[in-house]
């Protein structure tokens, strides 16, 4: 059964040859002047060499994070509807690549549900207090399910009692759905509503259970636990006489007279209509909302379309309901669901480059830094043409990185790059690693996020990603690692010396997510380092893989892998990959430092290409001095910024950005700025549109 296909082996060998080659970063040659900035801008115009070819941004559906953040900023909602959407596909390491953001019918149906929930929850003024009790769900000894009656109620034979928590004194309407029946000689059933032992009102039950009646009474309920009862006052059961009566109750509802207005309503209701006939105000609401949701001023055609819909719906449903439906329509519109919708097409040489539309650029910027829509300040800058100048763009980047919304880069970029997403599905063996609990998993995610955020937003050099003098921990993480407790349940910053665990190579999230449930995987760790930090693409293993023994009697993981590499088929790649990961063996399968494995002292000798090293901090130093690290980071951030997988035309720009970084200051935030200033981010090619 174990067969090796010649083709696969050939691919494998050629695929791994690159691993021994040093990275191809061209240190020679001057950085071309940033091309294409219009007159009066800070960048100046320059001649561009032929190989610079721009590729247009493809039509880009909002991914899950972008959708949730956008509706948060648009409607002030705390709903996170995208949690119910299927996960977006990762391409090139990120889940914001346009090619993979498809829109199947099942997702569109979820968008429709979400739009409805968002419109209703944002626009509807709701009671301040409500409670809903299904009689069946409570159940009492003296009742039995009245399923015969359309499956909605309980048949009462005594008193139904439930307790409702009332958050403050409220004038409240109590309603009970009820139905009844009686034999000829038995009395019409009578039910009474009680609160805290006080009878409020009695009702004759004349409706059949199949078409029940609603009992209703208003009362001031005092704050606290209130006992609400429904009594059956004249229950008669004489089987011998074949005489009796019956009452069935369904849901009990409590609704306060006082209301609350959702915070997002004022974002939509930019004017308060004087009444349903105030068409001018309702139309202004519709147009303003569409303009904000579309993230650009409405064109004449768009205005016409929105107005036509508002008028049609107002005629049939009334203006307030029409507003809700228009909000739903806008949230389903391609102008909302796709970003930068008219952003230029095809690809083209420098002579055919033009600036991106101001508002498309504003969206590109906000979705890069915030994973959300532009705010008013950014839209205003787009409106005045301020984004066409280098200084204008720099000012926005600085402002936007200071804004807390830039934490979106943690989730969208850093979590994907640094293995946090994969941590979700890691299942370390609970017997071998009892300290790996769900709170630990959450803390490890936070550790990575906080660390990346600190380097980005404190203006730290990119090299601080590898060799910083600080890290983050909490009592939980420190206790688990047998380190001194920082005295904080929340994550706090601590100093880290050159020999202590520090930097991205020491982060628990990727160390755990690249391990197997019971032991470390130097193979996966090595692959992670080579791919994520040095930009290699490791080819897939060939079919017919001999199993790697998992039991400890087969020796340490290092010994087992050495055995594996004796197979020449495996050796081609594993001789390159394994030694990188083996140098990280000081960390166990859940990222804890250790001195021994199976009783033997840990061997942390590793090798990167031809360079030998001992342990994670030594590898970090090698990476810090390796130009491929910054280039790889640049390439990844660039692909994330543009929201598409890297194509060959991008290489020249990525090389230029890499070379420009030291001159700009070498900070991670500088890299963000440089990418924003680069032609692929700001400009677009001119090409023909489809017929």
Residues 10-69 that bind another protein (CB under 8 A): 56, 58-59, 61
Which of 45, 148, 165, 171 is close enough to bind another protein by CB under 8 A?
148
Q: Which stretch binds another protein (CB under 8 A): 266-274, 406-414, 514-522, 674-682?
A: 514-522
- Can you tell me which of 249, 538, 577, 622 binds another protein, judged by CB under 8 A? 538
Query: Which region, judged by CB under 8 A, interacts with another protein, from 194-202, 276-284, 340-348, 574-582?
Result: 340-348
Minimum gap (Å) between residue 280 Cβ and another protein: 21
Nearest distance, CB of residue 621 and another protein, angstroms: 28
Establish if 291 lies at the interface with another protein (CB under 8 A): no
Contact 221, 228 (CB under 8 A): no
* CB 343, min distance to another protein, A: 9
Judged by CB under 8 A, the stretch of 253-261, 331-339, 353-361, 587-595 that binds another protein is 331-339
Which residues, at least 6 apart from 151, have a Cβ–Cβ distance to it below 8 Å? Answer: none
Site for another protein in 649-678 (CB under 8 A): none
User: To the nearest whole angstrom, how small is the minimum distance from the Cβ of residue 98 to another protein?
Assistant: 8
Angle among Cα 259, 265, 267 to the nearest 5 degrees reads 155
Stretch that binds another protein, among 63-71, 112-120, 161-169, 497-505 (CB under 8 A): 112-120
Task: Kindly tell me which residue out of 78, 89, 198, 611 binds another protein, with binding defined by CB under 8 A.
Answer: 89
Taking each helix axis from N to C terminus, what angle separates 651-664 and 627-642, rounded to the nearest 10 degrees?
110
Give the other-Cβ count within 10 Å of 602's Cβ.
Answer: 16
Binding mask 444-483 for another protein (x = CB under 8 A): ----------------------------------------
Q: Name which of 22 and 544 has its Cβ closer to another protein.
A: 544
CB of 645 to another protein, least distance (A): 7
- The Cα 171–Cα 594 span in angstroms is 64
Compute the Cα dihedral for 560, 563, 569, 571 and give only its sign: positive
Binding to another protein, residues 373-432 (CB under 8 A): 421-422, 424-425, 427, 429-431
Q: Of 111-119, 455-463, 618-626, 660-668, which segment contacts another protein by CB under 8 A?
A: 111-119
Q: Which stretch binds another protein (CB under 8 A): 71-79, 225-233, 312-320, 350-358?
A: 312-320
CB of 581 to another protein, least distance (A): 15
Q: Is residue 251 within 8 Å of residue 185, measured between CB atoms?
A: no
Contact characters 346-365, another protein, x per CB under 8 A: x-------------------
Token pair of 532, please?
């994520």
Stretch that binds another protein, among 16-24, 31-39, 167-175, 239-247 (CB under 8 A): 239-247
Among 183, 218, 259, 398, binds another protein (CB under 8 A): 183
Q: How far is the CB of 95 from another protein (least distance, A)?
A: 9
Handedness of CA 659, 663, 668, 673 (dihedral sign): negative
Site string for another protein, 243-272 (x = CB under 8 A): xx-x--------------------------
Handedness of CA 539, 545, 551, 554 (dihedral sign): negative
Of positions 99, 196, 469, 625, contacts another protein by CB under 8 A: 99
Distance between CA 550 and CA 515 in Å, rounded?
A: 13
Residue 112 in the binding site for another protein (CB under 8 A) = yes
No. of helices (H) and no. of strands (E), the chain: 27, 25
H or E stretch including 227? strand 224-232
Q: How many Å apart are CA 31 and CA 20, to the nearest integer?
A: 28
140 near another protein, rule: CB under 8 A: no
* Window contacting another protein (CB under 8 A); options: 241-249, 364-372, 445-453, 493-501: 241-249
Q: What is the DSSP string of 421-483?
A: HHHTT----TTT-TT--HHHHHHHHHHHHHHHHHHHHTT-BGGGGTS-SEEEE-HHHHHHTT-
Pick the binder of another protein from 135, 230, 268, 329 (CB under 8 A).
329
Number of residues that bind another protein (CB under 8 A): 97
Q: Does 125 bind another protein (CB under 8 A)?
A: no
CB-nearer residue toward another protein: 105 or 225: 105
How many residues in total does the chain contain?
691
Interacting residue with another protein among 38, 86, 158, 385 (CB under 8 A)? 86
For the chain, the 3-state helix, strand and coil shares in percent, each to the nearest 5, are: 45, 20, 35
CA distance 171 to 255: 8
Q: Which of 469, 510, 476 is nearest to 493 (CA)?
A: 469
Q: How far is the CB of 115 from another protein (least distance, A)?
A: 9
Return d(Cα 517, Cα 10) in angstroms, integer: 32
Could you tell me if residue 70 is left (phi over 0), alpha (psi between -120 and 50 degrees) or otherwise beta?
alpha
Single residue of 10, 31, 33, 109 touching another protein by CB under 8 A: 109
Min. distance of Cβ 543 from another protein in angstroms?
A: 4
Q: How far apart, in whole angstroms, are the C-alpha atoms of residue 561 and residue 72?
A: 49
Which residues in the 543-572 window bind another protein by CB under 8 A? 543-545, 547-551
Under 8 Å between Cβ of 338 and 270: no
**Taking phi first (over 0 means left), then psi (-120 to 50 degrees means alpha), and beta for anything else, what does residue 344 get?**
left
Question: Which of 9, 13, 25, 91 touches another protein (CB under 8 A)?
Answer: 91
Q: Angle formed by the axes of helices 390-402 and 668-677, to 10°?
A: 140
CB of 488 to another protein, least distance (A): 29
Q: Please tell me whether residue 648 binds another protein under the rule CB under 8 A.
A: no
Q: Which is nearer to another protein, 307 or 571 (CB)?
A: 307
Q: How far apart are CA 47 and CA 202, in angstroms?
A: 89
Query: Who's near 682: CB < 8 A, 6+ residues apart?
Result: 36, 37, 355, 356, 361, 393, 676
């Amino acid at each position: 059964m174990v067969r090796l296909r010649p083709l696969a082996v050939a691919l494998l060998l050629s695929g791994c040859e690159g691993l021994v080659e040093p990275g191809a970063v061209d240190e020679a040659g001057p950085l071309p002047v940033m091309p294409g900035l219009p007159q009066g801008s800070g960048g100046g115009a320059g001649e561009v060499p032929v190989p610079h070819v721009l590729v247009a941004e493809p039509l880009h559906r909002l991914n899950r994070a972008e959708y949730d953040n956008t509706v948060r900023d648009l409607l002030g909602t705390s709903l996170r509807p995208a949690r119910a959407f299927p996960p977006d596909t990762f391409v090139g390491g990120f889940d914001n690549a346009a090619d993979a953001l498809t829109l199947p019918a099942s997702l569109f149906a979820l968008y429709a549900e979400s739009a409805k929930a968002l419109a209703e929850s944002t626009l509807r003024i709701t009671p301040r207090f409500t409670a809903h009790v299904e009689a069946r769900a409570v159940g009492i000894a003296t009742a039995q399910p009245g399923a015969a009656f359309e499956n909605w109620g309980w048949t009462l034979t005594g008193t139904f009692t439930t307790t409702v928590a009332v958050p403050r004194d409220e004038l409240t309407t109590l309603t009970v759905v009820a139905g009844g029946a009686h034999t000829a000689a038995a009395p019409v059933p009578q039910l009474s509503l009680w609160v805290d032992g006080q009878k409020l009102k009695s009702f004759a039950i004349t409706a059949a259970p199949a078409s029940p009646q609603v009992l209703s009474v208003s009362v001031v309920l005092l704050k606290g636990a209130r006992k609400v009862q429904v009594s059956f006052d004249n229950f008669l059961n004489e089987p011998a006489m074949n005489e009796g009566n019956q009452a069935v109750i369904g849901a009990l509802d409590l609704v306060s007279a006082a209301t609350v207005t959702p915070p997002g309503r004022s974002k939509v209701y930019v004017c308060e209509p004087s009444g349903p006939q105030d068409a001018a105000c309702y139309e202004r609401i519709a147009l303003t909302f569409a303009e904000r949701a579309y993230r650009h001023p409405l064109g004449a055609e768009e205005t016409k379309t929105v107005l036509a819909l508002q008028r049609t719906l107002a005629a049939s449903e009334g203006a307030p309901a029409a507003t809700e439906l228009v909000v739903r329509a806008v949230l389903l519109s391609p102008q909302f669901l796709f970003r930068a919708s008219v952003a230029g097409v095809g690809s083209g040489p420098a002579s055919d480059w033009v600036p991106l539309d101001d508002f498309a650029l504003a969206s590109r910027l906000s979705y890069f830094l915030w994973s959300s829509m532009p705010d008013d300040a950014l839209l205003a800058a787009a409106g005045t043409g301020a984004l066409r100048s280098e200084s204008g763009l720099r000012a926005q980047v600085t402002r936007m990185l200071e804004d807390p919304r830039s934490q979106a880069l943690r989730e969208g970029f850093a979590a994907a790059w640094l293995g946090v997403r994969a941590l979700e599905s890691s299942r370390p063996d609970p017997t071998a690693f009892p300290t790996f609990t769900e709170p630990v998993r959450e803390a490890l995610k936070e550790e990575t996020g906080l660390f990346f955020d600190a380097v980005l937003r404190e203006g730290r050099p990119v090299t601080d990603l590898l060799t910083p003098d600080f890290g983050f921990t909490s009592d939980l993480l420190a206790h688990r690692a047998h380190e001194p407790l920082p005295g904080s349940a929340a994550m706090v910053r601590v100093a880290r010396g050159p020999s202590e665990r520090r930097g991205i190579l020491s982060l628990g999230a990727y160390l755990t997510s690249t391990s197997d449930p019971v032991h470390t995987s130097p193979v996966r760790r090595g692959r992670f380092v080579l791919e994520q930090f040095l930009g290699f693409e490791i080819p897939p293993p060939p079919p017919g893989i001999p199993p790697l023994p998992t039991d400890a009697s087969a020796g340490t993981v290092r010994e087992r892998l050495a055995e594996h590499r004796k197979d020449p088929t495996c050796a081609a790649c594993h001789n390159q990959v394994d030694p990188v990961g083996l140098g990280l063996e000081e960390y166990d399968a859940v990222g804890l430092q250790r001195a021994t494995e199976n009783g033997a002292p840990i061997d942390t000798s590793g090798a990167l290409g031809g360079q030998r090293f001992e342990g994670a901090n030594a590898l970090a130093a090698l990476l810090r001095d390796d130009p491929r690290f910054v280039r790889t980071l640049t390439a990844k951030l660039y692909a994330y910024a543009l929201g598409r997988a890297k194509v060959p035309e991008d290489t020249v720009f990525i090389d230029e950005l890499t070379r420009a970084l030291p001159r700009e200051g070498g900070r991670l935030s500088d890299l963000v700025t440089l990418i924003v200033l680069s032609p692929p981010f700001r400009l677009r090619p001119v090409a023909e549109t489809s017929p």
